[in-house]
């Protein structure tokens, strides 16, 4: 059991946030936060890593880092399939596997690994955001609260993107890039598995 935040209307139209148990909205907030962690590390550090550690030219490193977001175009297709299947855990695990593989393959330290990392993390993150935010909106108690629910999920998910670079930088400084990529991939995978239990 974990704590959840749920919104309910009280007399006078005031919105109350209260603590509940195993709430779908909170579940999705943490899920999107884990995905944000992985996506932020790839977008913030991949180009610099390829340029300084793998010794690619700035142009090649930038091109590899820029390839990934193109694959976010998969999000509408994921949404279409998710609407028809409704298999939340399957999509969450697929997202976790893609983003974790993307982070882990980066440690190989080649241009090909950089391309794979960029593509895999982009597809995985867009899958997670699409499924996670769709599910969270479905958890709103009334239609007029969907925007509030979406705002909460988005805000909490951004924390993953804020905290991850600080931790990643500390690991890189102490242990090197390969360990940092593996450690963050492992952390994101464990978080998602815990959420699926």
Domains of the chain, by residue range, sit at: 24-196
Q: 17 has which bridge partners?
A: 7
pLDDT in tens, 80-101: 888 888 787 788 888 888 888 8
Q: State pLDDT tens for residues 49-85.
A: 999 999 999 999 999 988 887 777 888 888 888 888 8
* pTM for the model: 0.76
Which pLDDT value is given to residue 85?
A: 84
In Å, the largest CA–CA distance within the chain is 62
Choose the CATH number for 24-196 among 2.30.30.90, 1.20.59.20, 1.20.1250.20, 3.40.50.1370.
1.20.1250.20
Q: Is the dihedral of CA 131, 21, 99, 33 positive or negative?
A: positive
Cα three-residue angle 123-126-129, rounded to 5 degrees: 150
Residues of the chain predicted below pLDDT 70? 1-30, 139-141, 192, 195-197
In contact, 38 and 103? CB cutoff 8 Å: yes
Report, in angstroms and rounded to the nearest whole number, the Rg of the chain calculated over CA atoms.
Answer: 18
Q: How far is CA 151 from the centre of its chain?
A: 16
CA pair distance 8, 139, nearest whole angstrom: 11
Q: Is residue 8 helix, strand or coil?
A: strand
């Amino acid at each position: 059991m974990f704590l959840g935040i749920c919104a309910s209307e009280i007399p006078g139209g005031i919105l109350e946030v209260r603590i509940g148990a195993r709430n779908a909205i909170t579940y999705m907030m943490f899920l999107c936060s884990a995905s944000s962690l992985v996506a932020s590390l790839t977008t913030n550090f991949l180009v610099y890593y390829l340029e300084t550690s793998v010794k690619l030219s700035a142009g090649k490193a930038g091109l590899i880092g820029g390839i990934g977001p193109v694959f976010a175009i998969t999000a509408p297709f994921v949404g279409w399939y998710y609407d028809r299947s409704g298999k939340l855990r399957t999509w969450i695990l697929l997202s976790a596997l893609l983003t974790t593989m993307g982070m882990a393959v980066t440690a190989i330290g080649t241009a090909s690994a950089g391309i794979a990392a960029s593509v895999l993390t982009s597809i995985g993150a867009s899958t997670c955001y699409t499924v996670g935010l769709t599910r969270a909106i479905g958890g709103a108690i009334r239609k007029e609260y969907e925007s509030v629910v979406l705002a909460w999920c988005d805000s909490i998910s951004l924390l993953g993107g804020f905290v991850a670079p600080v931790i990643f930088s500390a690991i890189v400084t102490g242990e090197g890039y390969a360990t940092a990529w593996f450690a963050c991939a492992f952390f994101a995978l464990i978080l998602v598995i815990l959420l699926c239990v």
